[in-house]
Amino acid sequence: MKHTSIIKTLGLSIAACGLAVASAAELPINPGLWETTTTGTNPMTGKNETKTETECVKERSISTAEFMQDEKSCKATKDEVSGNTLSFAIQCTVQGVATEMSGSITADDNSSTGNMNIAMTMGGQTRNMDMKWTAKRLGSCDE
Protein backbone atom coordinates (compact mmCIF):
# COMPACT_ATOMS: atom_id res chain seq x y z
CA MET A 1 0.00 0.00 0.00
CA LYS A 2 1.19 3.44 -0.61
CA HIS A 3 0.92 5.18 2.70
CA THR A 4 2.77 8.41 3.23
CA SER A 5 2.89 7.56 6.93
CA ILE A 6 5.11 4.59 6.08
CA ILE A 7 7.32 6.83 3.99
CA LYS A 8 7.49 9.43 6.79
CA THR A 9 8.39 6.71 9.28
CA LEU A 10 11.36 5.68 7.17
CA GLY A 11 12.67 9.24 7.37
CA LEU A 12 16.35 9.59 6.58
CA SER A 13 16.67 5.94 5.57
CA ILE A 14 14.44 6.50 2.58
CA ALA A 15 16.00 9.87 1.82
CA ALA A 16 19.40 8.17 1.71
CA CYS A 17 18.19 5.65 -0.85
CA GLY A 18 16.02 6.77 -3.73
CA LEU A 19 15.00 5.20 -7.00
CA ALA A 20 14.79 7.17 -10.23
CA VAL A 21 13.60 4.33 -12.45
CA ALA A 22 9.92 3.70 -13.03
CA SER A 23 8.81 0.43 -11.55
CA ALA A 24 7.20 -2.11 -13.84
CA ALA A 25 5.45 -4.11 -11.10
CA GLU A 26 2.37 -2.45 -9.58
CA LEU A 27 0.03 -3.70 -6.87
CA PRO A 28 -3.61 -2.52 -7.17
CA ILE A 29 -5.00 -0.76 -4.08
CA ASN A 30 -8.39 0.61 -3.09
CA PRO A 31 -8.38 4.41 -2.68
CA GLY A 32 -10.01 5.82 0.44
CA LEU A 33 -9.39 6.64 4.08
CA TRP A 34 -6.82 4.23 5.55
CA GLU A 35 -5.51 3.78 9.09
CA THR A 36 -1.95 2.43 9.27
CA THR A 37 -0.16 1.15 12.37
CA THR A 38 3.61 0.89 11.91
CA THR A 39 6.07 -0.72 14.31
CA GLY A 40 9.75 -0.22 13.60
CA THR A 41 13.14 -0.44 15.21
CA ASN A 42 14.75 2.96 15.77
CA PRO A 43 18.23 2.51 14.22
CA MET A 44 19.83 4.89 16.72
CA THR A 45 18.37 3.43 19.93
CA GLY A 46 17.46 -0.10 18.87
CA LYS A 47 14.07 0.30 20.54
CA ASN A 48 10.73 -0.47 18.92
CA GLU A 49 8.44 2.44 18.16
CA THR A 50 4.77 2.18 17.16
CA LYS A 51 2.80 4.86 15.37
CA THR A 52 -0.78 4.94 14.05
CA GLU A 53 -1.83 7.44 11.40
CA THR A 54 -4.89 8.00 9.23
CA GLU A 55 -4.65 9.33 5.69
CA CYS A 56 -6.59 9.72 2.47
CA VAL A 57 -5.04 7.47 -0.19
CA LYS A 58 -5.89 8.58 -3.74
CA GLU A 59 -3.61 6.26 -5.71
CA ARG A 60 -5.00 3.11 -7.32
CA SER A 61 -1.73 1.18 -7.23
CA ILE A 62 1.66 1.08 -5.53
CA SER A 63 5.04 0.22 -6.95
CA THR A 64 8.56 -0.13 -5.59
CA ALA A 65 9.32 3.38 -6.86
CA GLU A 66 6.62 4.80 -4.53
CA PHE A 67 8.95 4.27 -1.57
CA MET A 68 11.77 6.23 -3.14
CA GLN A 69 12.97 9.74 -3.90
CA ASP A 70 14.76 10.88 -7.10
CA GLU A 71 18.21 9.39 -6.45
CA LYS A 72 19.98 7.99 -9.50
CA SER A 73 22.53 5.89 -7.57
CA CYS A 74 19.92 3.32 -6.54
CA LYS A 75 18.74 0.22 -8.34
CA ALA A 76 15.89 -2.18 -7.76
CA THR A 77 17.23 -5.72 -7.46
CA LYS A 78 13.77 -7.21 -6.95
CA ASP A 79 10.46 -5.75 -8.09
CA GLU A 80 7.64 -8.23 -8.62
CA VAL A 81 3.97 -8.80 -7.95
CA SER A 82 2.63 -12.28 -7.27
CA GLY A 83 -1.09 -12.46 -6.55
CA ASN A 84 -1.82 -9.62 -4.14
CA THR A 85 1.79 -9.21 -2.89
CA LEU A 86 4.46 -6.77 -4.07
CA SER A 87 8.01 -7.87 -3.19
CA PHE A 88 10.94 -5.49 -3.56
CA ALA A 89 14.65 -5.03 -2.88
CA ILE A 90 16.74 -1.92 -3.51
CA GLN A 91 20.46 -1.14 -3.22
CA CYS A 92 21.93 2.37 -3.01
CA THR A 93 25.17 4.14 -2.25
CA VAL A 94 24.69 7.83 -1.50
CA GLN A 95 27.47 10.02 -0.08
CA GLY A 96 29.40 7.00 1.24
CA VAL A 97 26.37 5.34 2.85
CA ALA A 98 25.47 1.92 1.40
CA THR A 99 21.81 1.07 1.93
CA GLU A 100 19.95 -2.15 1.23
CA MET A 101 16.19 -2.32 1.58
CA SER A 102 13.90 -5.30 1.11
CA GLY A 103 10.32 -6.09 1.95
CA SER A 104 6.85 -6.97 0.82
CA ILE A 105 3.34 -5.53 0.83
CA THR A 106 0.17 -7.62 0.68
CA ALA A 107 -3.11 -5.82 0.02
CA ASP A 108 -6.76 -6.50 -0.68
CA ASP A 109 -9.68 -4.08 -0.96
CA ASN A 110 -9.90 -3.29 2.75
CA SER A 111 -6.63 -4.29 4.44
CA SER A 112 -2.89 -4.40 3.97
CA THR A 113 0.15 -5.80 5.76
CA GLY A 114 3.80 -5.25 5.05
CA ASN A 115 7.34 -5.51 6.27
CA MET A 116 10.65 -3.93 5.39
CA ASN A 117 14.27 -4.31 6.46
CA ILE A 118 16.71 -1.46 5.93
CA ALA A 119 20.45 -1.96 6.45
CA MET A 120 22.65 1.15 6.27
CA THR A 121 26.45 0.79 6.30
CA MET A 122 28.67 3.79 6.94
CA GLY A 123 32.24 3.88 8.19
CA GLY A 124 32.30 0.09 8.55
CA GLN A 125 29.28 0.05 10.87
CA THR A 126 25.88 -1.30 9.86
CA ARG A 127 22.61 -0.14 11.39
CA ASN A 128 19.43 -2.11 10.80
CA MET A 129 15.85 -1.00 10.91
CA ASP A 130 13.01 -3.51 10.74
CA MET A 131 9.47 -2.34 10.12
CA LYS A 132 6.09 -4.03 10.04
CA TRP A 133 2.73 -2.45 9.41
CA THR A 134 -0.93 -3.23 9.17
CA ALA A 135 -3.54 -1.04 7.55
CA LYS A 136 -7.29 -1.06 7.23
CA ARG A 137 -9.56 0.92 4.96
CA LEU A 138 -12.02 2.97 7.00
CA GLY A 139 -14.16 4.15 4.07
CA SER A 140 -14.22 6.99 1.59
CA CYS A 141 -12.23 10.17 2.09
CA ASP A 142 -14.15 13.22 3.31
CA GLU A 143 -13.14 16.12 1.13
**Cα separations in angstroms, 117 against 20, 58, 109, 114:** 20, 26, 25, 11
pLDDT for 114 beyond 70 = yes
Strands (E), 1-143: 26-28, 32-41, 48-57, 61-63, 75-82, 85-94, 97-107, 111-122, 125-139
- The fraction of the chain above a pLDDT of 90, given in percent, is 44
| Residue 123 or residue 3, greater confidence | 123
| Residue 59 or residue 34, greater confidence | 34
Strand order in the sheet with 48-57: 48-57, 32-41, 125-139, 111-122, 97-107, 85-94, 75-82
Instruction: Show me where the domains of the chain are located.
Output: 4-139
pLDDT for 122 beyond 80 = yes
pLDDT score, position 68: 60
pLDDT score, position 37: 97
| Residue 41 or residue 117, greater confidence | 117
pLDDT for 140 beyond 70 = yes
On average, the pLDDT of the chain sits at 80
| Residue 77 or residue 45, greater confidence | 77
Q: For residue 100, what pLDDT band results from cuts at 50, 70 and 90?
A: very high
pLDDT score, position 44: 75
pTM: 0.74
pLDDT score, position 62: 79
pLDDT score, position 75: 85
Supply φ then ψ for residue 31, to 5 degrees: -60, 155
**Cα separations in angstroms, 128 against 37, 46, 108, 111:** 20, 9, 29, 27
Q: Distance between CA atoms of 124 and 106, rounded to whole angstroms?
A: 34
